[in-house]
Amino acid sequence: MYTSLIEKLAHTKALKWFPNRQVEESWIVEVEQELGFLLPPSYRWWLLNYGQAMLSGTQILTITSSEHREYTDTDILYIYRLADEQAKQEGKLELFIPDEDEYYYFDTRMTDARGEFKVMRLDYFNGEPEVYADSFAEFLEKLIDQRTPRNA
């Protein structure tokens, strides 16, 4: 199901993932219970199989154990807890916040038939969100493609 992504992950230098840093199923369930909704299947797959990664030097948000969550600014629930009420009402679940003029988030207001949330990109300059990807897996593939240097 994620063959293309697995292939890209095996050969990319843009994204560095950390072996043996997978997330435990119980951590995911705990986060979903607090959020009040299920995380998308491709994001769950990523967490259970890879867990943590840096893309161009910035951590993609993950899930940590509850005993470390309050001290881990790369935990998706920790960041969600810090979000203002307007962002929560707009269905924003932040996912990737690079040191640039943009950030990426799940739009949790609606899922597709597979249970996936769209990944949105917000440009700080124009303030307009745009659909970046239809799933977390597509999000990773697009970012890897965009940030992989092309050979001349």
Round to whole Å and give the CA distance between 92 and 84: 10
pLDDT of residue 18: 81
**Domain membership of residue 128 as a residue range:** 3-147
Q: Does 7 reside within a domain?
A: yes
pLDDT of residue 101: 86
pLDDT of residue 151: 61
Q: Does 41 reside within a domain?
A: yes
pLDDT of residue 152: 41
CATH number at residue 23: 3.40.1580.10
Total number of domains in the chain:
1
Q: Does 111 reside within a domain?
A: yes
Rounded to two decimals, what is the model's pTM? 0.91
Q: Does 113 reside within a domain?
A: yes
Looking at residue 84, the DSSP 8-state letter turns out to be: -
Nearest in space to 23 (alpha carbons), one of 71, 75, 98, 101 = 75
Q: Does 11 reside within a domain?
A: yes
Which helix (H) or strand (E) segment holds residue 1: the answer is none
Q: Where would I find the H helices in 12-111?
A: 25-35, 41-49, 66-69, 76-82, 85-89
Q: Does 152 reside within a domain?
A: no
pLDDT tens, per residue, the chain with 152 residues: 799 998 988 888 888 888 888 999 999 999 999 999 999 999 999 999 999 999 878 899 999 999 988 888 899 999 999 999 999 999 999 999 887 788 999 999 999 999 999 999 998 888 889 999 999 999 999 999 988 877 64
pLDDT of residue 83: 93
Show the tokens assigned to 37: 């909704």
